[in-house]
Structure 1
Amino acid sequence: MDVARKLSAQERKQIRELARTGATHREILAAVSRSAGIIAKLVQEERGGGRAVHLVDWEPGPGHLTLPEREEIALALERDESFTAIAGGLSRAISTVSREVGANGGRGCYRASKAHRRAWAQGRRPKTPKLVGCEDLQVTVSAWLEELWSPSQIARRLPVEFPDDPMMRVSHETIYQSLFVQGRGALRRELTRCLRSGRVHRQHRGRTEKRGRIPDMVNISERPGEVADRAVPGHWEGDLIVGKNGKSAVATLVERTTRYVMLARLDDQTALTVRDAITAQITRLPDHLRRSLTWDQGREMAQHIAFSVDTGVEVYFCDPHSPWQRGSNENTNGLLRQWMPKGTDLSEHTQDDLDCIAWQLNNRPRQTLDWMKPSERLAELLACTG
């Protein structure tokens, strides 16, 4: 049992401060009415000795709690102050204080010195990657990756398969780092081909938006509420599928309620060509089936105002790097890769070819439509409106 626990937080703080100033054991004994053994233990920890952490020499990184702050937390807990009051006194976030206390024994068992030693130990580098230290875990993760499971699926399934083995736990982020980060490669590099992205290098999510802003864009947040619930037909999502070296493309349009698909061949990717091509497709529809179009912020839609004048269709733009805001279109583009694989020249497809591909997709039963075909759902809507 740690005898230092018999001390109050105020006494521990006083002993540590005296030790920092170089006071002798006798001087500390005179100032604090405690046994020599208790004081000697704390002084040893503070000044360094044996296996104890050299707390006086270690400074946490910017933004991390310091030892004096941890001592203030301990004192405040003894006064039964709330986390809000403690955080206000330290000018820290409430969550910082609550996590600190929760991770170090809770309100009744929190000790500043032990919490500081724990922070020091957790911050030591380099650390042995989890997948390196547990061969069974490494084998299981590798096998599931080869079965084309995602890192998230693996991380969530491990506790189900191994409920009583705490070593068989790993986060999805650790799996990604083991695949992508040099020096943490517990998993074979070639397993990256099993990831759905197929990337061998990680793509930075914090990249800045390099495309120029399209004039007079209307953000998706201003789109009518009826679009979101898919109850009213005539709202479309659109995008381009790009071919080899970005030199060829096909415009794709998907109706949100029926999942009906239309494709348009493009001679190039200029705004004028894209406008003319999708206008030709949209104007084939009756007025009640052309209400809005949601697109990403690609420059190919720079002539969206002229398109709206020609068709009566309002255009709304997604937030940057937010493909889920056009979920139906993204899903359809993935299905279209069966006929138009990545890295192929899409200019080889004539408009007749694209109409044939669209026909095949529109005549497939879809689970999301209760196994009806998109063409059948569209026919229903046309029949209801005469």
Structure 2
Amino acid sequence: MQQGYSDREASRIVGINPRTGKRWRNGRHSPPTGKPKPPITVEAPASEPSRCLREADRVHIAGRLREKASIRQIATEPGRSPSTISREIRHNGALWRGRDWTYRPHAAQRRAEERRPRPKPGKIGQNPALRDFIQDHLERRWSPEQICQALRARFPDRPEIHVVHETVCQALYVQGRGELRRELTPALRTGRIMRRPHRRSCRRQLCMAKDMVMISERPAEAADRAILGHWEGDLIISKALKSAIGTLVERSSRFVALVHLPDGRQPAQVRDALVRTVSALPAQLRRSLTWDQGSETCLHKQFSAATDMPVFFCDPGSPWQRDSNENTNGLLQQYFPKGTDLARYPPEDLAAVAAELNSRPCKTLGWENPSRAPR
């Protein structure tokens, strides 16, 4: 049978009855007072304990099931979890003559061995349409989680193509699978070609602004994100500290606006650029701005006087108080890699990047995009 012959043909070649061949292959049921008879190929006894069930464990399970023992009683004796025993009976048992569910230990051992070989073909590699869908959205800089949610939203009646984001990541990172093109790895948020554990980043040096109004005095309506018009802001700075781009994120809708700073990031330049950007907004969308304690905002009072928009400052070393803005800055690394000269991007390019971010689905908004999020 290992050479590909059927049960009946293999029995004819050996010269035995097909029923006898089936017993040789599977082992047969014991009489009420005996033990299960092993098949013709017997697993060598192991001296060390194993995480996986062995044939001896399965023989013990079959014997205790005949004695009407409970799942918990069976699990206690070999020191296994009850869920392990229950799962083994459910996965490796079979219907006997199409009627009763029975557990045959040697047949169960064979089924477990057939499922054991690795690596197994993944869902993405087996479905070309699914693979093309994922690759197309990775090229559009969608995250794996956004792609997986889009699959569920567009194809709710096709669970065979629903995957989780870890499946997408493994198809990119795990060696030897080849389910997704390796050149798509830089399209992920991190841009890394290898996975790395999260590490604690160094705290950057703080430059205090004068006459700050702290975030603790910010209106409560800004904290619960119930009303539009409360913004978070920051700068993304080039490696040489010579150029920067301002980022503004609306807390309720997660709408992104990028501020062009072609001449530098001195306080007066940042003030003027923010005034131009914020002045284009309706008055009801200019309720407050939250910034970190950077020296580029030391002219915040002049900004507030020009826009009628108060500025609040985060506590030292507390970037989570501007969580939406910090997340957006991470997304922008795909468009503006570290080390590039940010001054070479014209306002048109910044507007195109902001439009692409605002058109992508957002998990926090129930997978709506910021441009269409309910107000």
Scaled by the length of structure 1, what TM-score is found?
0.48
More helix by share: 1
The answer to which structure, 1 or 2, has the higher relative contact order (CA under 8 A, 6+ apart) is 2
